[in-house]
């Protein structure tokens, strides 16, 4: 997905939110904001939004010396989600269609996205869970069910810390023995890394790999050779979150994207209202 003009005000808001997480110094805030204004003035709009976010967050880390600014937020959300896990497991177990319930909850967990909204609260998460239960869900669920049953090996691309606890529920309903979970190779925003996979207990249940990259999405040409090989050889890719959608939706592969459409640009691209729970297959696969 290319960058829309509407992404640019959002990059700038995100820049301010992110730099304030790591530095109390207004001079640092102003310096990075002016830099991002200069970059975006000349930017190539064919770049995906996560490529721009990657550059912004690299520069913030470089300027402030803080290598993992969202570590505390990630710990908070992992713990919050783990506290909810027994209730979520019961919801899946008691559901008439456990897979459908697990899909809905995994999408609800995608609300924990500090790139789109730096001030997400637990109330927002509970609202997303209620929405997951109450709203009609019209995505390609049956195609997803069939594709999962047919696939020999599945690569599950995780998105954010906290959210991966919700993913754990879904993966257990899919085909746990045939699934590998991929996380980011280095800290970026509140995206899940190997540390979060461990904190959420996923490493005890499934093979974990990382993509070797610090982009908040999957910029394949920057990912490690090992990840690329796993990506290319997977029968089916399941990708969580807007960042993975924005970087992979034009790939000629069979990919199911599961996310909440949290911003107007992505919602318009998919053709749904903002806030919609989306399960969408790429045009690449059949």
CB 165 within 8 A of CB 78: yes
- Tell me how many residues contact a copy of itself (CB under 8 A): 19
> Considering the rule CB under 8 A, would residue 283 count as an interface residue with a copy of itself?
no
Rank residues 26 and 152 by Cβ distance to a copy of itself and give the closer one.
26
CB 140 within 8 A of CB 280: yes
Rank residues 80 and 264 by Cβ distance to a copy of itself and give the closer one.
264
Rank residues 9 and 207 by Cβ distance to a copy of itself and give the closer one.
9
> Considering the rule CB under 8 A, would residue 62 count as an interface residue with a copy of itself?
no
> Considering the rule CB under 8 A, would residue 40 count as an interface residue with a copy of itself?
yes
DSSP 2: P
DSSP 119: T
> Considering the rule CB under 8 A, would residue 42 count as an interface residue with a copy of itself?
yes
> Considering the rule CB under 8 A, would residue 45 count as an interface residue with a copy of itself?
yes
Greatest pairwise CA separation for the chain in angstroms: 56
> Considering the rule CB under 8 A, would residue 152 count as an interface residue with a copy of itself?
no
Rank residues 113 and 196 by Cβ distance to a copy of itself and give the closer one.
113
The rounded distance, in Å, linking the Cα atoms of 89 and 116 is 27
CB of 37 to a copy of itself, least distance (A): 4
Looking at the DSSP assignment, which residues form a beta bridge with residue 42?
none
Q: Is 244 exposed, middle or buried (0-12, 13-18, 19+ CB in 10 A)?
A: buried
> Considering the rule CB under 8 A, would residue 33 count as an interface residue with a copy of itself?
yes
Q: Dihedral, CA atoms, 53, 58, 59, 60, nearest 10 degrees? A: 90
- The residue ranges that bind a copy of itself (CB under 8 A) are 5-6, 8-10, 12-13, 16, 26, 29-30, 33-34, 37-38, 40-42, 45
């Amino acid at each position: 997905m290319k960058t829309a003009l509407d992404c640019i005000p959002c990059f700038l808001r995100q820049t301010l939110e992110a730099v304030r997480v790591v530095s109390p110094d207004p001079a640092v805030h102003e310096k990075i904001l002016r830099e991002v204004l200069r970059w975006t003035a000349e930017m190539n709009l064919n770049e995906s939004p996560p490529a721009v976010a990657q550059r912004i967050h690299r520069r913030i880390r470089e300027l402030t010396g803080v290598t993992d600014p969202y570590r505390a937020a990630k710990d908070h959300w992992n713990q919050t989600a783990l506290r909810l896990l027994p209730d979520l497991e019961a919801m899946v177990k008691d559901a008439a269609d456990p897979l459908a319930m697990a899909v809905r909850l995994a999408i609800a967990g995608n609300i924990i996205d500090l790139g789109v909204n730096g001030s997400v609260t637990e109330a927002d998460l509970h609202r997303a869970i209620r929405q997951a239960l109450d709203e009609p869900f019209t995505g390609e669920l049956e195609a997803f069910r069939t594709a999962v049953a047919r696939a020999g090996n599945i690569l599950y691309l995780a998105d954010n810390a906290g959210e991966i606890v919700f993913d754990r529920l879904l993966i257990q309903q899919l085909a746990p023995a045939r699934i590998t979970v991929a996380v980011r190779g280095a800290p970026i925003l509140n995206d899940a890394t190997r540390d979060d996979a461990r904190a959420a207990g996923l490493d005890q249940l499934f093979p974990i790999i990382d993509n070797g990259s610090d982009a908040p999405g999957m910029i394949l040409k920057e990912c490690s050779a090992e990840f690329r090989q796993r990506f290319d050889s997977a029968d089916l890719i399941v990708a969580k979150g807007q960042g993975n959608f924005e970087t992979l939706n034009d790939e000629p592969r069979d990919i199911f994207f599961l996310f909440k459409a949290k911003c107007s640009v992505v919602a318009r691209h998919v053709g749904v209202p903002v806030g919609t729970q989306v399960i969408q297959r790429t045009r690449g696969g059949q």
